[in-house]
Structure 1
Amino acid sequence: MDFEKVYEKALEDKTLPGYALLAGDKNGKILYSGAKGVQSLRSDSSRPFQLDTICAIASMTKLMTSVAALQCVEAGLLDLDKSVSDVFPEMGKYGIITGFDDEKNEATTVPNHTPITLRMLLSHTNGHEYDWFNPLLMKWRASRGEEPWVGPTVEQKSTLPLIFEPGTSFRYGAGSDWAGKLVEKVTGKTLDAYMSEKIWEPLGIKDITFYPKKRPDMEDRMATISTLNEQGEGPAADAPDFDILFGGTDCLGGGGAFASSKDYFTFLQAVLRRDSMLLDDASWTELFKPQLNEQCKKAFNEYITSSPLHKQYLGMCIPTDIEKTWSFAGMICEKGQEGRMSDRTIFWGGVPSMAWYLDFGAGLCGVAACQIIPPMSPSIMALHEQFQRGIYQSFGPKKK
């Protein structure tokens, strides 16, 4: 296929050390699978990048956390629209940040009186934003002598001032991390143990975990992070000091899992076919439906285009004139793109330039795995777009 050539050129140009690709249909058929390159640029590693290579999947974890949360809703353990502020009183305890006084080196805040719900956590309308994404929060962290998003627990990483009144806007933040903590609270299990029992084992999945260091069978299959230069150009180099969890030891439902592309794809195909082993039909409908009202949807689309960095991290290589909204599963593109996808295709990815998509109109899904930063590097995401196009053009709906 043509997209194979662009990936091979990236290998030759040393902008991509290694990758794995999988695509399939709603009937469970694998339409394409392939992997090339190496899983690490470290001098003591020569193992090829394969379908069973273990990758840090970062925000691709969010989809699994949404499924876990909806399972708890089905079981009557959680309610999408009930306040969770009493469960986690530290969430939002600093109020809403409105400014920063540089002379006093302190933030200006106002109290928040709007309860935060699970629905808000899963749809990024809860008022949180990742601190490294927001200049005011970066100043707030610095004023306290703290580093952004550093620490072992969700509470240490994500107990932050809110950016807006919950339910009134959209910012990309730690909602899924808090949702994962809720699942742990109501089930009495770690997110790793819960997902293993309720998601991975029913699907025959063995190669997803939050704790790869506890898995000796994964040790020689772990990919390492490589980096391009600040301009996103090669050659790629090993990034030995990059800790994708920034000291995290909690199960981070928003970005803490590790998986082989093969087993993550098994999960993604189950989502595409709305597998009844995971959720009932009403819950699948809830997972995929748009969750943003017009005000929040407008904020989301403006957010993506608010800076080149936001477009890179959140844009998924999709034209900005295609209106987008958000579901518990991920970003919904309301209109299709010629030769690439159908209307209402859902996308998301993860920091090391990873991507997945669910194209319900064409009955297709795909995963593109690699381990390269800067996050969502445009040159790498452009390769993933070509992969999606190649699958759509070969297996999608045919023009009459």
Structure 2
Amino acid sequence: MRTAEPSSKGVDPARLERIAGWMDRYVSERKFAGSSILIARDGAEIFFNSTGLRSVEQGLPFQRDTIVRLYSMTKPVTSVAVMMLAELGLFHLDAPVSDFIPAFNDMQALIPKAVRIDQTEPAPAPTLHQLLTHTSGLSYPFNPGVLPAAMDDADLLFRPDQGQLESLVGQVAALPLAFQPGTRWEYSVSIDILGRVVEIVAGQSLAQFFQSQIFDPLGIRDTAFRVPEGTGDRFASLYTPLAGDAMALNAAKGGDDTLRLVDKAGSSPFEQATLYSGGGGLVGTLDDYMRFAEMLRRKGAFRGERLLSPKTVEFMMRNHLPGDIASMGPQSFAEQPMVGTGFGLGGSVVLDPGRVHVPGSVGDFSWGGMASTFFWIDPVLDLSVVFLTQLSPSSSYPCRSELKALVHGALVE
């Protein structure tokens, strides 16, 4: 990506520097160990900054090529993979997932106000579209409710060291849905299920499909389902301010240490991954993810390589819900605002910045990860932003809304 002076792109350089000060403050207050950011406008890099440490214990700096756990920022990549196969006419989005994974035949859903996992009624198999939009009836173990509790008991979190994707998908299919498909929005493992659909339709592992069909064409070199060989010294440690499990949000309790180490290079499951989680399994770098984000902003193409048609990307970045997320009764953990925000295929879509209470444009497309990572694309302002850090959970601090305010505060044209 070429670089440009911020002022040539309608951005005030002095106001951009406020972002560096904000990042430094998060480090000095021991909220984040370290972080990095890359901002591009009109396809040109206008701002990069990194600060703090990727390993507090070893005193290693957080740098531009630091490798992080992307967690749910994997979901947009998997959604792109699904749409690449859809463009080939290999399926349509209203196809039931049972067409590809027979274990989803004869589904059950919990009855309204169920208090036990066996209080169910018949339900149709979720469609691919319902999986893409988190209206499938699936859930996550860290959400509140009967199904999440059962998933938690079975440890259905799709961690990189949990065997093979096919096995966990089968275990998910054996449980009832939290609600009838299409009736509510709930953040879920649905994109992991779609990762398995990609494997079945493409006849190769999700890792192989990502590498050959997405990463290689975009020039993405340090992003994968396991820390690439020879790059372990660049792999950041993961921290949490919680006293217990950094993912156990139902029982989250603050601890005495705001940067408690929970995963590090040399002993991380991401270094020996066997399960390719389309919902949260990727590790990667700042520049790699910017290439992916820019491909979406440029409507499917980057470096002369086209992954999707402009019409398909426009379709993905539209709101696919009847209204905003909040209107669909979500009971799940929220990484993003739900009021004034819709959901497309792979990310959220701003419907009304005023109702979101965060500066932005109608049509902003974004998503983040559990380790407080975040990206967004503003098609109105030709803006792409990628922010990386490593603190779980992402609900610990309002860093995403603060960052959007800082970036918009630097735009003068």
Question: Normalized against structure 1, the TM-score is what?
Answer: 0.84
| Residue in structure 2 matched with residue 134 of structure 1 by the alignment | 144
Structure 2 vs 1, CA of residues 89 and 332 (structure 1 numbering), >3 Å: closer, same or farther?
same
Report how many residues are paired.
370
CA distance in structure 2 between the aligned counterparts of 1:8 and 1:47, rounded to whole angstroms? 16
| Residue in structure 2 matched with residue 345 of structure 1 by the alignment | 364
| Residue in structure 2 matched with residue 172 of structure 1 by the alignment | 187
Q: How does 1:253-268 map to 2 (within 5 A)?
A: 253-268=278-293
- Give the drift of 1:177: 0.7
Amino acid at match of 2:182: G
Amino acid at match of 1:394: A
| Residue in structure 1 matched with residue 79 of structure 2 by the alignment | 66
**Is 1:384–2:388 an aligned residue pair?**
no
**Is 1:238–2:261 an aligned residue pair?**
yes
- Give the drift of 1:2: 1.5
**Is 1:335–2:352 an aligned residue pair?**
yes
Provide Cα deviations, 1:319-353, integer angstroms capped at 9, x if missing partner. Answer: x6x42211003111201258821112122100011
| Residue in structure 1 matched with residue 65 of structure 2 by the alignment | 52
- Give the drift of 1:47: 2.2
| Residue in structure 1 matched with residue 205 of structure 2 by the alignment | 190
The root-mean-square deviation of aligned C-alpha atoms, in Å, is 2.6
**Is 1:147–2:155 an aligned residue pair?**
yes
Of 341, 360, 379, which residue of structure 2 is paired with 1:360? 379
Q: How does 1:91-102 map to 2 (within 5 A)?
A: 91=104, 95-98=108-111
CA distance in structure 2 between the aligned counterparts of 1:282 and 1:18, rounded to whole angstroms? 38
| Residue in structure 1 matched with residue 10 of structure 2 by the alignment | none
| Residue in structure 1 matched with residue 131 of structure 2 by the alignment | 121
Structure 2 vs 1, CA of residues 270 and 110 (structure 1 numbering), >3 Å: closer, same or farther?
same
Provide Cα deviations, 1:287-317, integer angstroms capped at 9, x if missing partner. Answer: 11211125x85544x42xx5xxx5xx4253x
| Residue in structure 1 matched with residue 334 of structure 2 by the alignment | 314
| Residue in structure 2 matched with residue 285 of structure 1 by the alignment | 314
CA distance in structure 1 between the aligned counterparts of 2:256 and 2:364, rounded to whole angstroms? 30
* Structure 1 segments unaligned to the other structure (5+ residues): none
Are 2:238 and 2:391, in contact at CA under 8 Å, matched by a contact in 1? yes
Structure 2 vs 1, CA of residues 13 and 141 (structure 1 numbering), >3 Å: closer, same or farther?
closer
Are 2:353 and 2:359, in contact at CA under 8 Å, matched by a contact in 1? yes
- Name the SS of the counterpart of 1:38 in structure 2: strand
- Give the drift of 1:95: 1.0
Amino acid at match of 2:399: L
* Structure 2 segments unaligned to the other structure (5+ residues): 1-16, 243-252
Are 2:358 and 2:401, in contact at CA under 8 Å, matched by a contact in 1? no
Are 2:50 and 2:63, in contact at CA under 8 Å, matched by a contact in 1? yes
CA distance in structure 2 between the aligned counterparts of 1:118 and 1:133, rounded to whole angstroms? 22
Structure 2 vs 1, CA of residues 92 and 221 (structure 1 numbering), >3 Å: closer, same or farther?
farther
CA distance in structure 1 between the aligned counterparts of 2:367 and 2:105, rounded to whole angstroms? 26
Are 1:58 and 1:352, in contact at CA under 8 Å, matched by a contact in 2? yes
Percent pairwise identity: 24
- Name the SS of the counterpart of 1:192 in structure 2: helix
- Name the SS of the counterpart of 1:344 in structure 2: coil
